[in-house]
Amino acid sequence: MLSPRFLLLRSAVSLSCRSFCSGGASKPGRAPDMIEVRNRLREIVGASTNWSDHQQAMADRVSLSSMLAKSQQDLPARRMKDSYLEVHLPLGSEPQLREKYLTFHNTVRFGRILEDLDSLAVLISYSHTYNSALKRSPLSIVTALVDKIDMRHHVIYPDCDIKFSGRVTWVGRTSIEAKMHMSQYRDGAYAPVLDATFVMVARDPENKRAAFVNPLKADGPEEEKLLQEGEANKSRRVELSTASLLKVAPTDDERKIIHSLFLNTLDTNTVSFRSRVLPPNSVWMEDAKLKGLEICHPQERNIFNRIFGGFLMRKAYELGWANACSYGGCRPNLVAVDDILFQKPVEIGSLLLLSSQVCYTQGKYIQVRVHSEVFDPLTRQHNTTNVFHYTFISDRDVPNIIPKTYGESMLYLDGKRHFNQTVEP
């Protein structure tokens, strides 16, 4: 199967970023493709395409710890244009590539787009932290959070070229926010398809503790505004985490919603708390699940010897989409992705259990939550690795989802919160 080719437009990339991306693999006069970019990333961290050599290379990275900055002040400040990248996916001109992205319904597999966005976010982050004096980077940059992906166009055509662009728009001491945009060439011009915000974190060579990243300085009012938006995004994430239903009780309004749902399902003939009746045009939440299992093979590893985050996102999205499709009775379109939290890395050889749940509905909208966990068959232990949130829209009104237990009621409220954050009233 042919790997996707991403053509980096050198004219849109700063000198330091060009040096970082191109390395020595590209032929003169031709922009590198994605294979060459990934090979360059392997060179920077000292990884290998061979599994046995890769394991040894990861062990050798321990010696790079001495190259880490002792504080953020020791690192030079970077500008947003230093990390700017523009990348092309030539679906229109390469039919063989198109096969990898094509669905049965002649649209583009969005799960593949998620993989590409994840790779691009890592590349952008390494561009920001690039140090030409070092042969290999001591940093392990990984995806911490997909803050939000907003769809501006529901249909992605499989026979038209795609363009990605992105840059670092905010940094903390050890974290990086990368904003990316995707557009597609059609009718003689590029039209916007989606906007994405990823949060990356820098770790030491062994990926065990946090590491400092270069500070970011704004150049002009537009970049200053982006920096302020990044600070606001961080504050919002802290606030949402503090108000999580796993930590605090629902609000008064939310409690009234749950109690109303409960009263609407009581059997009026028995007048019993135990006897529940499903209202018309409704589905019990327990009947709106879909599960999957993935065995995590070395083929799906990233350059740090863990399972590639983009692969996890693709599998979770496809399961969530299938659940929404089954629930609504038609092919849904994606509206938004938000708050994908990477809690723990997934090791090679893990049994990955994916569980999707329709947790909230409103009119034509379907909110789906996908829970990912690794299972150790020897110890029988389960550990959550990721939680994914997707908002879909159907071409018709869908049944109401009804929780039955307290736990399902919390999932319902959590789904409602995510829906309200992603869908404008």
Q: What is the pLDDT of residues 266-278, one digit of tens each?
A: 887 777 777 789 9
Whether 2 is covered by a domain: the verdict is no
pLDDT band for position 424 (cuts 50, 70, 90):
low
Do both 215 and 273 map to the same domain? no
> What's the confidence (pLDDT) of residue 33?
56
Whether 336 is covered by a domain: the verdict is yes
Q: CATH number, domain at 284?
A: 3.10.129.10
Identify which of 149, 101, 146, 98 has the alpha carbon closest to the alpha carbon of residue 122.
Answer: 146
Domain C-terminal end among 196, 221, 241: 241
Do both 147 and 191 map to the same domain? yes
Indicate the number of domains in the chain.
Answer: 2
Whether 351 is covered by a domain: the verdict is yes
Q: Which residues contact 66 (CB under 8 A, 6 or more apart)?
A: none
Q: Over the Cα atoms of the chain, what is R_g?
A: 23
pLDDT band for position 381 (cuts 50, 70, 90):
confident
Domain range for residue 122?
7-241
Do both 48 and 128 map to the same domain? yes
Whether 50 is covered by a domain: the verdict is yes
Whether 254 is covered by a domain: the verdict is yes
Mean pLDDT of all residues belonging to the chain:
86
> What's the confidence (pLDDT) of residue 13?
35
> What's the confidence (pLDDT) of residue 51?
67
Give the torsion through C-alpha atoms of 95, 97, 102, 106, to 10 deg: -20
Cα–Cα distance for residue pair 352/346, rounded to 1 Å: 8
Do both 300 and 401 map to the same domain? yes
Structure tokens that stand for 346 in this block:
């997934």
Do both 286 and 237 map to the same domain? no
Please give the average per-residue pLDDT across 293-312, as a whole number. Answer: 87
Do both 138 and 282 map to the same domain? no
Do both 285 and 212 map to the same domain? no
pLDDT higher at 400 or 238 = 400
Do both 222 and 261 map to the same domain? no
> What's the confidence (pLDDT) of residue 37?
64
Do both 237 and 255 map to the same domain? no
Domain C-terminal end among 186, 215, 241: 241
> What's the confidence (pLDDT) of residue 10?
33
Identify which of 122, 126, 308, 108 has the alpha carbon closest to the alpha carbon of residue 194.
Answer: 108
Span between the terminal Cα atoms of the chain, in Å: 43
> What's the confidence (pLDDT) of residue 410?
96
Whether 1 is covered by a domain: the verdict is no
Tokens 């395409």 appear where? 49
pLDDT band for position 32 (cuts 50, 70, 90):
very low
Q: Which residues of 216-249 are buried (b: 16+ CB within 10 A; e: fewer)?
A: bebeeeebeebbeebeebbeeeeeeeeeeeeeee
Do both 224 and 251 map to the same domain? no
Cα–Cα distance for residue pair 87/36, rounded to 1 Å: 13
Rank 60-64, 77-81, 205-209, 273-277 by mean pLDDT and report only the highest: 77-81
Domain C-terminal end among 241, 256, 276: 241
pLDDT band for position 216 (cuts 50, 70, 90):
very high
Do both 213 and 173 map to the same domain? yes
**Residue 322 reports pLDDT greater than 90:** yes
Please give the average per-residue pLDDT across 17-45, as a whole number. Answer: 53
Whether 401 is covered by a domain: the verdict is yes
Do both 253 and 235 map to the same domain? no
